[in-house]
Amino acid sequence: MSDPAPATNPATNVKSMDAIMALCKRRGFIFQASDIYGGINGFWDYGPLGVELKRNIKEAWWQDMVRNPPVGPDGREVSMVGVDCSIIMNPKVWEASGHATGFADPMVDDKETKQRVRADQVIAIYLSDPQISAGEAARIREHDVIDPRRIPDLTIVAGSPREAAALLTSDKPLRKALGIREFAEIGGPVGSDAYAMMDYKGQSRFAVLARCPLDVLREHSDRVPSPFTGKVGTLTELKQFNLMNETYTGAVQSEENKAYLRPETAQGIFVNFKNVCDSTRVKLPFGIAQIGKAFRNEINPRNYTFRSREFEQMEIEFFCHDKDAMMWWEWWRDTRINWYKKLGLTGERLRPRNQTDKELAHYSKACTDIEYMFPFSDEPQELEGVAHRGCFDLTQHARHSGKDMSYFDDESKEKFVPTVIEPSAGADRATLAFLCDAYGEDPSRASPEFLKLHPRLAPIKAAVFPLVNKDGLPEIAEPIHRDIRRQWPAQYDPKQSIGKRYARMDEAGTPFCFTVDGQTKEDGTVTVRDRDSGGQQRIDKSRVVEFLRDKLSRGE
């Protein structure tokens, strides 16, 4: 068996996604769903440690955002309540929300191979003969503009231009199939997406990698080479592929009984807006929160658990008056960024990015994507969106259902449809981000791999070891373990050397280990070992629970 990839690349300090995935499987964080049958693409299972980690993330979110949110921008306590809505809803919900007709990705199929790809994921290697100027190349790179009258010579499929370049650099059969003899990155004003190429005819040419515009595929699909075979004329016309998973309710599979697995949790909140208002004493501004599963029939699930067909969301719909909406949007944006930082996602890997006017949904006034630099990508990926959704959703449901979705303010005697601010986070993406960020390598440890998870998130809070499994030490250690596990997840491990036991706990992200040894029998003290520093100290065995409570509360 080959050695696992190192956790980090010393030259770039970039963590290895392969090493992280290997640890996740070996230690029971994440498994491929239906693994014994070869798996199923886009679905993942959480193992014993993974389910605890993900549960801790969800519970931290619920505690910090719903049960005990920070004080609002107006200096008052924020009012929050929760719901848990059905995964299958009346299909009319999705007609009102626009998902039934507008929730789709642009697709093209290869007529020969029957393979399908998202049209907006096709990367064009843009060439011209004679070679284009550096200025034109820079314009293409900066704006992703390709003149539809000048069809790209080649197309391949990848998530980004950089990934496409890496594929062309490493895949000799692909280069040969595309007629490329040499492919090398060049510097200059056009930056990292410009390349020098030499084809098999001996011509040196200048190339730019950019996303192929949809209008090129829409209007010239008969002239664009297939991303799968390189042949021209084998692509179908561009068409929309609905991302919702269809199912049926009742005994007969008919159009009348067709339903959908929800593609998001937000609509369950919106359709229950009046129910919440009528059954509780909430007053605007207030929020409704939900944690739950959602399903999207992704055409190309990828990057481990980051883009899956089944995933879990942590969403808030915060209802307020439109005149205060931007204030609340800014507050929720900052609150959500600070939450990730408080739990350990700090430094340059975490960044907020405001969407451009071109990216915003037609009903949205503002949206910040909270992004994280995962090891599998050369550019930050979205963890969460904090969106100003206006009153679009409630207005749509009022129009389609015929029900009044307005709110009456007792103080101002004003009746209006509230504006909504939506912080929408992915529980699976957050879990993956915390795993990636916590993962490190230290050759001086018994196991060079360890997880420096925040104590609130750690699946196991403490471990108890008898130094040897005899001489009366287990009889002292077992009651200590029982006292700890009454309050926190804890593990008792009497086997193998103390170094190997520390290593197992380091890989699980356990913050503290308590060892019972010969000195314990003499003076009643145990050794406490800190995961992060490796430092040790002795405390009285009667203070173990108190010690943990103090350390874990500081971690809060």
CB 266 within 8 A of CB 317: yes
Q: Which amino acid is at 141?
A: R
pTM of model > 0.75 = yes
pLDDT value at 4 more than 50? no
| pLDDT tens by residue, 304-330 | 999 999 999 999 999 999 999 999 999
| pLDDT tens by residue, 455-508 | 999 999 999 999 999 999 999 999 999 999 999 999 999 999 999 999 999 999
Domains 8-102+247-437 and 443-555 agree in fold: no
Tokens 């008052």 correspond to what residue? 76
DSSP code string of 158-222: -SSHHHHHHHHHH-HHHHHHTTEEEEEE--STTGGGEEEEEETTS-EEEEEEEEPPHHHHHHHTT
> What angle in degrees, to the nearest 10, is found between the helix axes of 48-62 and 427-438?
110
Q: Does domain 8-102+247-437 have CATH number 3.60.21.10?
A: no
- CB neighbours (10 Å) of residue 435? 24
Average pLDDT over residues 149-178: 70
User: What CATH superfamily classification does 443-555 receive?
Assistant: Anticodon-binding domain (3.40.50.800)
Q: Which one-letter DSSP state was computed for residue 2?
A: P
**pLDDT over 70, % of the chain:** 85
Q: Alpha-carbon distance 537 to 525, whole Å?
A: 10
pLDDT of 132: 54
Domain extents in the chain: 8-102+247-437, 105-241, 443-555
**pLDDT over 90, % of the chain:** 60
H-assigned helices in 65-118: 91-97, 99-102
Q: Alpha-carbon distance 369 to 143, whole Å?
A: 20
